């Protein structure tokens, strides 16, 4: 077995090369630039829009994980944002905990609820699962409409009747102004993306890929498919709960109208268009779902046309670009890199 | 070596159909063949062994372990490995990750992966599964089966889609598995050259029943086996 050490060292070099790629370095530089200069360049209005886009990008990353890696169609993710928001508002009003700890509580609570309502995913897949999750999203929509979101009142629901008594949840200490909250959300979003990326590139991600490829093949490889499906649901629900917490703190209040079942469909569509097989696609999806309508408004086009535009985008993605915009961008980058390296070698 | 696999009275029934009917076989060691015409029950036999088909009756024991008492994932962790007719290489993962996937759930560890990679002689481990040739995919499949401490390896048509030269390489690997890893190998394939070259003993299934078992050369020469494969008319014409 003399070849083993050579192979091991080759693999170590290969891993280091993977970590410090041009792409990763460029991404780090871009994120630092966004952190420092983003609010200055964007201005007040677009800073708020991009902040919400980043929050929805976290939920989109969860959808991408479920669909792109496990093959599960979940049409209830916006409801889970609502659950995370509800828990954040309720715990935030009821305790003196720092906002970061409230976010942790929201993540754990939403993770548990997500696993509970996602149990059908253990038995269902494809269209059946899509319909079940959509119906659950409808059920959450009704519940949110009936209970409303906590606004500083008493009782389990934490509702204060009357506008005067309503108390918005204060933003975290590190993000009281819009530019600071932009940066705060950017950092938390990066952390959530890292959580998902670490899962994707390690043991759970490989197990999920095997389950997507073939349930029988996964079992034959010794993978506990039920455990790993539950794990995926927990991770996705927890990160989506954090997104809900960030959204709740953004304005301090939440409105049930923001958590309609149709919003979940919209978000899923943007993930398909953005690219369900990469986190870049999720980031694009976050902007498409929250940034595109105001962008259309800014161009003098009715923002409600988003459904038509995303419908056309989905047709285009499904028929010609299954990897989404992210896949097309990656293809373009590969072509440019190849052209550049060929040019240098001449 | 892992010991013999004892199959006694194994019956799998779907409604009124019995893909396996009172199958009793003993697979002693090394590489054993399992052949039969399409629909004979070979894949159902593999499915019953690996836990994907629940037998109506019968027993499966190996090295004193009752295989039927374990679910498919537990059987894999115990040491039962299998491939499928349709290769299962995951396109989005690298070749290395495809192999590691098997090892990390069956207790093999990194050393086991490196040993398996070394055994099959696969290069370019960072390439995605989608970029691998058919031979390389089959090598990944073989590497997955030998990761860790395999006791029983079920190979379902491992030579499908390979040309003669590639099959030669595969033959060399399969023959070395029992000696290198101590596992019992059962091979299902329609390629009689592959079966006769690799398998010391062979069993033949037809309509879910065992119609012949013994030394491979003798089994393949048996008139009953030739009838099952070729049909009575062709046999009479040949005579």
Mean pLDDT taken over chain A: 86
- Using 50, 70 and 90 to split pLDDT, how confident is the model at B160? confident
Asked if the C-beta of B138 comes within 8 angstroms of chain A's C-beta atoms, the answer is no
What is the predicted pLDDT for the residue at B17? Answer: 87
Contact check, Cβ <8 Å, B88/A213? yes
What distance in Å separates residue A80's CA from the closest CA in chain B? 28
Q: Does residue A81 carry a pLDDT above 70? A: yes
Higher-scoring residue by pLDDT: A303, A224: A224
> In terms of DSSP bridges, do strands B184-188 and B152-156 run parallel, antiparallel, or are they unpaired?
parallel
> In terms of DSSP bridges, do strands B152-156 and B31-35 run parallel, antiparallel, or are they unpaired?
unpaired
Q: Does residue A326 carry a pLDDT above 80? A: yes
Q: Does residue A189 carry a pLDDT above 80? A: yes
Q: pLDDT by residue (tens digit) across B28-80?
A: 878 899 988 888 889 999 999 999 999 999 999 998 899 999 999 899 999 99
- Using 50, 70 and 90 to split pLDDT, how confident is the model at A3? very low
Q: Containing H/E element for B18? A: strand B17-27
Going by the DSSP 8-state scheme, the letter that residue B208 receives in this structure is T
The pair of three-digit structure tokens given for residue A144, joined into one six-digit string:
């949110």
What distance in Å separates residue A198's CA from the closest CA in chain B? 14
Q: pLDDT by residue (tens digit) across B184-207?
A: 999 998 888 888 888 989 999 988
A109-113, A243-247, B45-49, B230-234, range with the lowest pLDDT? B230-234
Of A14, A206, A219, the CB nearest to B72: A219
Query: Which chain A residue has the Cα nearest residue B51?
Result: A220
Chain B partners of A217 at a C-beta cutoff of 8 Å?
84, 88
What is the predicted pLDDT for the residue at B39? Answer: 84
Contact check, Cβ <8 Å, B114/A217? no
Which CATH number covers residue B205? 3.40.50.300
Q: Using beta carbons and an 8 Å cutoff, which residues of A are at the interface with B?
A: 1, 3-4, 7-8, 11, 14, 203, 206-207, 209-210, 213-214, 216-217, 219-225, 277
Beta bridge mates, B25 = B7
A10-14, A130-134, B134-138, B203-207, range with the lowest pLDDT? A10-14
- Using 50, 70 and 90 to split pLDDT, how confident is the model at B239? very low
Q: Which residues contact A58 (CB under 8 A, 6 or more apart)?
A: A188, A189, A192, A193, A239, A240, A242, A243, A246, A286
Pairs of CB atoms within 8 A across A/B: 73
Chain A partners of B53 at a C-beta cutoff of 8 Å?
none
Chain B partners of A206 at a C-beta cutoff of 8 Å?
90, 93, 97, 100-101, 104
Contact check, Cβ <8 Å, A222/B73? yes
What is the predicted pLDDT for the residue at A234? Answer: 94
Q: Does residue A293 carry a pLDDT above 90? A: no
**Number of domains comprising chain B:** 1
Of A7, A11, A222, the CB nearest to B106: A222
Interval A68-77 mean pLDDT: 88
Beta bridge mates, B94 = B128
Owner of token pair 């033949």 = B204
Are the CB atoms for B193 and B224 separated by under 8 Å?
no
Distance CA A273, CA A327 (A): 10
The pair of three-digit structure tokens given for residue B128, joined into one six-digit string:
């995605």
A161-170, B25-34, B111-120, B172-181, range with the lowest pLDDT? A161-170
Owner of token pair 């491939």 = B83
User: For chain A, what's the residue count?
Assistant: 346
Interval A208-222 mean pLDDT: 89
What is the predicted pLDDT for the residue at A36? Answer: 86
Q: Which residues contact A162 (CB under 8 A, 6 or more apart)?
A: none
Q: Where are the domains of chain A?
A: 46-260
Interval A122-143 mean pLDDT: 86
Mean pLDDT taken over chain B: 87
Contact check, Cβ <8 Å, A209/B96? no
Contact check, Cβ <8 Å, A217/B97? no
Contact check, Cβ <8 Å, B96/A3? no
What is the predicted pLDDT for the residue at A5? Answer: 41
Q: Containing H/E element for B136? A: helix B134-146
- Using 50, 70 and 90 to split pLDDT, how confident is the model at B152? very high
Distance CA A135, CA B232 (A): 59
The pair of three-digit structure tokens given for residue A248, joined into one six-digit string:
């709740």
Of B50, B82, B90, the CB nearest to A210: B90
What is the predicted pLDDT for the residue at A63? Answer: 94
Domain extent, residue B91, equals 5-238
Owner of token pair 């046309």 = A305
Contact check, Cβ <8 Å, A1/B88? no
Q: Does residue A2 carry a pLDDT above 50? A: no
* CA dihedral for A257, A262, A263, A264, sign (positive or negative): positive
- Using 50, 70 and 90 to split pLDDT, how confident is the model at A1? very low
What is the predicted pLDDT for the residue at A276? Answer: 86
The pair of three-digit structure tokens given for residue A54, joined into one six-digit string:
């980043």
**Closest to A66 measured CA to CA, from A118, A110, A135:** A118
**A266 burial type by CB count under 10 A (0-12 exposed, 13-18 middle, 19+ buried):** buried
Which of B 3-32 lie inside 8 A of A, CB atoms? none
- Using 50, 70 and 90 to split pLDDT, how confident is the model at A55? very high
Q: Helix/strand/coil (H, E, C) string of chain A?
A: CCHHHHHHHHHHHHHHHHHCCHHHHHHHHHHHHHHHHHHHHHHHHHHHHHHHHHHHHHHHHHHHHHHHHHCCCCCCHHHHHHHHHHHHHHHHHHCCCCHHHHHHHHHHHHHHHHHHHCHHHHCCCHHHHHHHHHHHHHHHHHHHHHHCCCCCCECCCCECCCHHHCCCCCCCHHHCCHHHHHHHHHHHHHHHHHHHHHHHCCHHHHHHHHHHHCHHHHHHCCCCHHHHHHHHHHHHHHHHHHHHHHHHHHHCCCCHHHHCHHHHHHHHHHHHHHCCCCHHHHHHHHHHHHCHHHHHHHCCCCHHHHHHHHHHHHHHHHHHCCCHHHHHHHHHHHHHHHHHHHHHHC
**Closest to A265 measured CA to CA, from A117, A57, A74:** A74
Are the CB atoms for B186 and B202 separated by under 8 Å?
no
What distance in Å separates residue B106's CA from the closest CA in chain A? 6
Interval B126-131 mean pLDDT: 89
Chain A partners of B81 at a C-beta cutoff of 8 Å?
220
- Using 50, 70 and 90 to split pLDDT, how confident is the model at A38? confident
Beta bridge mates, B66 = B61
What is the C-alpha end-to-end distance of chain A, expressed in Å? 41
Going by the DSSP 8-state scheme, the letter that residue B94 receives in this structure is B
Query: Which chain A residue has the Cα nearest residue B126?
Result: A14
Q: Does residue A235 carry a pLDDT above 90? A: yes
**A99 burial type by CB count under 10 A (0-12 exposed, 13-18 middle, 19+ buried):** buried
């Amino acid at each position: 077995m003399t070849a083993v050490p050579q192979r091991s060292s080759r693999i170590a070099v290969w891993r280091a090369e993977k970590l410090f790629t041009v792409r990763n370095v460029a991404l780090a530089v871009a994120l630092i630039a966004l952190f420092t200069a983003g609010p200055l360049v964007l201005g007040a209005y677009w800073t708020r829009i991009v902040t919400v886009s980043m929050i929805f990008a976290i939920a989109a990353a969860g959808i991408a994980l479920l669909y792109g890696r496990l093959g599960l169609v979940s049409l209830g993710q916006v409801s889970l944002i609502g659950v995370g928001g509800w828990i954040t508002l309720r715990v935030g009003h009821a305790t003196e905990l720092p906002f970061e700890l409230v976010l942790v509580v929201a993540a754990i609570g939403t993770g548990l609820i997500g696993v509970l309502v996602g149990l059908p995913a253990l038995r269902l897949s494809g269209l059946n699962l899509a319909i079940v999750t959509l119906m659950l999203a409808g059920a959450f929509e009704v519940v949110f409409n009936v209970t409303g979101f906590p606004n500083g009142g008493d009782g389990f629901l934490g509702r204060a009747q009357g506008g005067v008594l309503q108390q918005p949840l204060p933003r975290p200490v590190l993000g009281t102004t819009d530019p600071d909250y932009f940066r705060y959300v950017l950092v938390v979003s990066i952390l959530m993306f890292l959580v998902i990326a670490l899962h994707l590139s390690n043991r759970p991600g490989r197990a999920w890929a095997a389950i997507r490829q073939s349930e029988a093949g996964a079992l034959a490889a010794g993978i506990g498919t039920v455990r790993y499906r539950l794990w995926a649901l927990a991770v996705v629900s927890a990160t989506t709960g954090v997104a809900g917490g960030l959204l709740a703190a953004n304005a301090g209040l939440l409105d049930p109208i923001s958590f309609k079942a149709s919003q979940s469909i919209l978000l899923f569509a943007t993930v398909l268009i953005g690219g369900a097989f990469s986190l870049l696609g999720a980031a694009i999806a976050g902007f498409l779902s929250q940034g595109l309508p105001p962008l259309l408004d800014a161009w003098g086009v009715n923002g409600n046309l988003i459904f038509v535009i995303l419908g056309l985008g989905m047709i285009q993605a499904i028929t010609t670009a299954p990897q989404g915009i992210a896949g097309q961008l990656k293809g373009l980058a590969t072509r440019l890199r190849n052209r550049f390296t060929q040019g240098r070698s001449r | 070596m892992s010991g013999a696999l004892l199959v006694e009275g194994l019956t799998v029934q779907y409604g009124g159909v019995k893909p396996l009917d009172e199958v009793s076989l003993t697979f002693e060691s090394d590489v054993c063949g399992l052949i039969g015409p399409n629909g004979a029950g070979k894949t159902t036999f593999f499915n019953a062994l690996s836990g994907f088909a629940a037998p109506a009756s019968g027993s499966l024991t190996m090295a004193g372990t009752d295989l039927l008492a374990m679910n498919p994932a537990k059987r894999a962790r115990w040491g039962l490995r299998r491939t499928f007719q349709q290769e299962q290489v995951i396109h989005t993962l690298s070749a290395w990750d495809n192999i590691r996937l098997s090892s990390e759930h069956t207790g093999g560890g990194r050393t086991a992966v490196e040993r398996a990679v070394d055994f099959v002689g696969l290069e370019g481990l960072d390439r995605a599964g989608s970029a691998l040739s058919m031979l390389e995919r089959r090598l990944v499949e073989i590497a997955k089966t030998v990761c860790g401490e395999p006791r029983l390896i079920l190979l379902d048509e491992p030579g499908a889609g390979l040309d003669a030269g590639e099959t030669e390489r595969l033959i060399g690997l399969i023959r070395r598995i029992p000696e290198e890893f101590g596992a019992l190998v059962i091979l299902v394939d329609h390629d009689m050259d592959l079966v006769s070259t690799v398998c010391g003993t062979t069993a033949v299934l037809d309509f879910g029943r065992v119609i012949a078992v013994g030394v491979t050369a003798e089994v393949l020469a048996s008139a009953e086996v030739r009838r099952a494969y070729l049909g009575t008319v062709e046999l009479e014409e040949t005579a």
